[in-house]
């Protein structure tokens, strides 16, 4: 029991349930924002954006917004995280991982990245949580993870049949970025870095890439595309798929642990199918719908305590 200031007591189990629901809500929010980012990426690359342009939108605006926060908290130790840890988090969960991921979409369709990257992030995080953080992986979560992977395979079955030499290269890129993000989540938990601090530091460190972007003619390319499309990508990449998703995912890790939070990237493909249907007018095929149901079933199993 937990006693409040007024003398009332709240059962510990009730508090744990509320915390778990908050963690699930954060994880679902992050997954939805990532799905929106995938759909926006598909649209952007079709109309002439380059991967570096999307990278700029993802980190520049939020980096400028967080800069006063980091300066006030202390640039010398990066909000208490430290430069070594901050740089490691930036590589695994920031612009380095993002530019590699965007490049993968030049080789394969959207369906590949939205399936392979989240599934590898989920499996990698489960393995790292068990091996390095000694988190217990319950039988239900293990079965749920396997069911999710099965659903992802069903969703990606149609696009996988079209893989060529370049497709294999693109798929390996998404395997790499998925594992990188698994490492990012594990380090957050291991170092006990707060969600806000991690989000702020990663985005501020990313500002160092701006001079290189300007020197290579990036601003002229953005101007040629027009401000409405740039505003759309600033919202989708710079707010939703960037700092908002990163913060919510980091918060879910702190509340639920790496093993349970690792499930949320795995539902991104299913949400991408739904968002693509609603936003782009592309209804899911029979295989995609079957995969969606399978993924959601696995998600339910993986969130159970036993």
* pTM of the model as a whole: 0.74
Of the candidates 247, 261, 17, the one whose C-alpha atom is nearest the C-alpha of residue 135 is 261
Residue pLDDT tens, the chain, 306 long = 555 445 555 566 666 778 888 888 999 999 999 899 888 988 888 888 998 999 889 888 888 988 998 998 888 888 889 999 999 999 998 899 988 988 888 887 766 777 778 778 877 888 888 888 777 777 877 787 788 778 777 766 665 665 555 667 778 898 899 999 999 988 988 898 887 888 889 989 999 988 989 898 888 889 999 999 999 999 998 889 888 888 898 889 888 887 778 778 778 877 887 887 787 776 777 776 777 778 778 777 766 655
HSE of 168 in the Cβ direction (CA atoms, 13 Å)? 2
pLDDT at 306: 57
CA angle 135, 267, 144 (to 5 degrees): 50
Residue 10: its H or E element: strand 9-10
* Alpha-carbon distances, residue 157 vs 3, 41, 116, 123 (angstroms): 53, 21, 12, 19
Of the candidates 242, 282, 275, the one whose C-alpha atom is nearest the C-alpha of residue 93 is 242
pLDDT at 304: 63
Give the other-Cβ count within 10 Å of 95's Cβ: 23
| Residue 2 bridge partners (DSSP) | 10
Which residue, chain included where needed, has tokens 């893989």? 163
| Residue 9 bridge partners (DSSP) | 3
């Amino acid at each position: 029991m937990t006693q409040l200031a007024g003398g009332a007591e709240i059962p510990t189990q009730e508090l744990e349930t509320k915390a778990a629901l908050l963690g699930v809500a954060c994880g679902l929010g992050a997954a939805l924002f990532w799905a929106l980012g995938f759909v926006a990426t598909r649209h952007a690359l079709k109309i002439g954006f380059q991967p570096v342009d999307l990278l700029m939108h993802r980190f520049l605006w939020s980096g400028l917004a967080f800069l006063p926060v980091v300066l006030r908290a202390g640039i010398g130790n990066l909000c208490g995280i430290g430069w070594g840890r901050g740089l490691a988090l930036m590589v695994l969960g920031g612009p380095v991982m993002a530019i590699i991921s965007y490049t993968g979409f030049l080789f394969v369709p959207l369906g590949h990245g939205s399936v392979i990257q989240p599934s590898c992030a989920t499996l990698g995080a489960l393995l790292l949580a068990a091996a390095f953080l000694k988190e217990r992986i319950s039988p239900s979560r293990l079965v749920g993870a396997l069911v999710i992977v099965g659903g992802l395979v069903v969703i990606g079955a149609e696009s996988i049949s079209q893989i060529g030499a370049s497709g294999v290269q693109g798929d390996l890129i998404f395997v790499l970025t998925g594992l990188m993000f698994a490492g990012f989540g594990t380090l957050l938990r291991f170092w006990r870095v707060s969600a806000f601090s991690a989000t702020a530091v990663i985005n501020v460190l990313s500002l160092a890439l701006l001079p290189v972007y300007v020197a290579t003619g990036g601003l002229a390319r953005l101007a040629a595309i027009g401000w409405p499309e740039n505003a759309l990508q600033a919202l989708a990449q710079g707010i939703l798929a960037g700092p908002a998703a990163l913060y919510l995912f980091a918060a879910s890790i702190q509340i639920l642990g790496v093993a349970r939070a690792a499930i949320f990237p795995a539902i991104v493909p299913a949400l991408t199918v739904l968002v693509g249907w609603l936003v782009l007018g592309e209804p899911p095929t029979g295989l995609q719908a079957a995969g969606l149901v399978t993924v959601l079933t696995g998600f339910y199993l993986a969130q159970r305590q036993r």
